[in-house]
Amino acid sequence: MMVNWQKLAAIRELKEYFEADFEEFKGQIEAQLEGLRQLDAEELDKLALLRVLEVTNGCLQWGFRRQDEQSLSVERTRECMRQVIGFIQNQRIDLPNGEQIHFAPAVEALIEEGRELYQAAFKKNIAEKEKEYFAYSTAQFIVYGKPRLQAAIAQVQQQFEPLFSPYYIERGRNYIAPYMAALPDHPE
């Protein structure tokens, strides 16, 4: 897959890692790609949906912490967090239409590893784990690819807009957009 590494290097949360040692951080991302590329398309579709839900919830939570004008009420903010964290902990996505999305056991293990990495990076504030998290997160976006991410964003909008609000659905889309801009329109 032809990735535009220069575009990735310009993304705000990745910039410092690329500037410190471009080849080393690129290598860290590429190392994460190997395991993710082993997953079948159906599991990648489900993981992309979970990732878009995580990103959208993250945007909403940060908006609340900053007390943005568009932030949701305390109750709605907690409900969004409870649902998305529940999806991660239960390793199952419960769609508002009643459908449930389940993951293969190997993917459940990946989800748990990702949760532990996030906890180490952002709850325990381990700097090296933060870098590792961003390498893993970037690898996810690369492996999912633009078409799959676009489909996941559309599904989140269709299924979860009442939960997150149109504003935060758009914020999630905007967060993912620079990653998608670094990817080809059609995976090889």
Calpha distance 80→84 (Å, rounded): 6
- Binned at pLDDT 50, 70 and 90, residue 1 comes out as low
User: pLDDT tens across 31-44, in order?
Assistant: 999 999 999 999 99
Rama region for 39: left / alpha / beta (φ>0; ψ in -120 to 50; rest): beta
Separation CA 177–CA 35 (nearest Å): 24
* Number of residues assigned to the chain: 188
pLDDT for the residue numbered 188: 52
- Confidence class for position 128, pLDDT limits 50, 70, 90: very high
What's the rounded mean pLDDT across residues 94-107? 95
Q: Is the pLDDT of residue 185 over 90?
A: no
Evaluated on CA atoms 117, 123, 124, 128, the torsion sign reads positive
Average pLDDT in the chain: 95
Q: In the predicted model, what is the mean pLDDT of residues 127-151?
A: 96
What confidence tens digit (pLDDT) does each residue in 141-163 have?
Answer: 999 999 999 999 999 999 999 99
Token pair listed for 21? 């040692």
**27 Cβ neighbours under 8 A, 6+ residues apart:** none
Burial class of 106 by CB neighbour count within 10 A (0 to 12, 13 to 18, 19+): exposed
Neighbours of 113 (CB within 10 A): 12
**pLDDT at residue 112 tops 70:** yes
Structure tokens of 157?
A: 């909008």
Tell me what pLDDT residue 46 has.
98
pLDDT tens figures, 43-76 = 999 999 999 999 999 999 999 989 999 999 999 9
Q: What is the dihedral of CA 40, 149, 85, 27, to 10 degrees?
A: 70
Instruction: Assign 186 a pLDDT band (cuts: 50, 70, 90).
Output: confident
pLDDT at 187: 61
How high is the pLDDT of residue 127? 87
Nearest Cα to 53, choosing from 145, 160, 151?
160
Q: 162-173, pLDDT tens digit by residue?
A: 999 999 999 999
